[in-house]
């Protein structure tokens, strides 16, 4: 069955090196922090953690704005109190829902590819999601990107990190200092 969803892949930057330098106990603490923050914010925004991917996760949701806001908030929380930066890729589109809990399609693949191209702290999203970006976030156009397996170039926007642009309690803009 085809459904329209927004997908987000999130990834902790430098996790393997961090584990080598700081050991398993510290690595598990970093993962625990990511998962606790992500679970709480996903629940608050009506977003589903579709899969845990080692030092990252795949999110999905019906409301693109909620997925974008959730990802940005988790990224900003980790920026302020985490040990590693988070990066992500976001794409909305029609996909095949497979066996009730998995998704197959270009939107999933594009979100994963964008995540792999993002810089530490950066969320990359497709131009098709621009209208769903919450007003407190300001995307910057980066141009088109060729994604393997996708016939047309993909317009890419970036949500770069700011000093906690989204407040945990109110999701309102916090002034830069």
Asked, for residue 109, whether it belongs to a domain, the answer is: yes
Give the lowest-confidence range in 137-141, 149-153, 154-158, 160-164.
160-164
Our count of domains for the chain comes to 1
Matching residue, tokens 């579709």: 50
Asked, for residue 176, whether it belongs to a domain, the answer is: no
**pLDDT score for 170:** 35
pLDDT in tens, 59-109: 999 999 999 999 999 999 998 877 899 999 999 999 999 998 889 999 999
Question: Which range of residues forms the domain containing residue 98?
Answer: 2-159
* Mean residue pLDDT across the chain: 89
Q: What share of the chain is helix, strand, coil (3-state, %, to 5)?
A: 35, 30, 30
Whether the full predicted model's pTM is greater than 0.85, yes or no, is yes
Read off the pLDDT of each residue in 137-152 and give the average, rounded to a whole number.
Answer: 88
Q: Is the pLDDT of residue 166 over 50?
A: no
Q: Is the pLDDT of residue 164 over 60?
A: no
44 — pLDDT class (breaks 50, 70, 90): very high
What would the two tokens of residue 112 be?
């994963």
- Residues near 43 by beta carbon (within 8 Å), at least 6 away in sequence: none
In angstroms, rounded to a whole number, what is the distance separating the alpha carbons of residues 61 and 67? Answer: 6
pLDDT in tens, 26-38: 999 999 999 999 9
Asked, for residue 136, whether it belongs to a domain, the answer is: yes
**pLDDT score for 161:** 79
In angstroms, rounded to a whole number, what is the distance separating the alpha carbons of residues 130 and 39? Answer: 25
11: number of CA atoms within 13 Å, CB side?
21
Asked, for residue 150, whether it belongs to a domain, the answer is: yes
Asked, for residue 63, whether it belongs to a domain, the answer is: yes
In angstroms, rounded to a whole number, what is the distance separating the alpha carbons of residues 110 and 126? Answer: 8
Asked, for residue 6, whether it belongs to a domain, the answer is: yes
Asked, for residue 14, whether it belongs to a domain, the answer is: yes
Kindly report the number of other CB atoms within 10 A of residue 18's CB atom.
17
Query: Domain of 77: which CATH number?
Result: 3.30.70.1230
Read off the pLDDT of each residue in 3-10 and give the average, rounded to a whole number.
Answer: 97
Asked, for residue 177, whether it belongs to a domain, the answer is: no
């Amino acid at each position: 069955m085809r459904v329209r969803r927004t997908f987000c892949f999130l990834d902790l930057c430098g996790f393997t090196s961090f584990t080598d330098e700081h050991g398993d106990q510290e690595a598990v603490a970093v993962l625990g922090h990511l998962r606790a923050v992500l679970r709480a914010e996903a629940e608050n925004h009506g977003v589903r953690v579709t899969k845990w991917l080692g030092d990252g996760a795949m999110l999905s949701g019906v409301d693109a704005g909620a997925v974008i806001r959730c990802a940005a908030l988790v990224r900003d929380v980790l920026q302020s109190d985490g040990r590693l930066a988070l990066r992500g890729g976001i794409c909305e589109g029609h996909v095949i829902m497979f066996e009730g809990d998995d998704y197959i399609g270009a939107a999933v693949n594009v979100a994963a590819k964008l995540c792999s191209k993002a810089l530490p702290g950066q969320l990359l999203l497709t131009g098709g999601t621009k209208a769903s970006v919450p007003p407190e976030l300001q995307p910057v156009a980066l141009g088109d990107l060729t994604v393997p397996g996708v016939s047309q170039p993909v317009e890419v926007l970036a949500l770069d990190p700011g000093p906690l642009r989204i407040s945990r309690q109110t999701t309102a803009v916090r002034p830069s200092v």
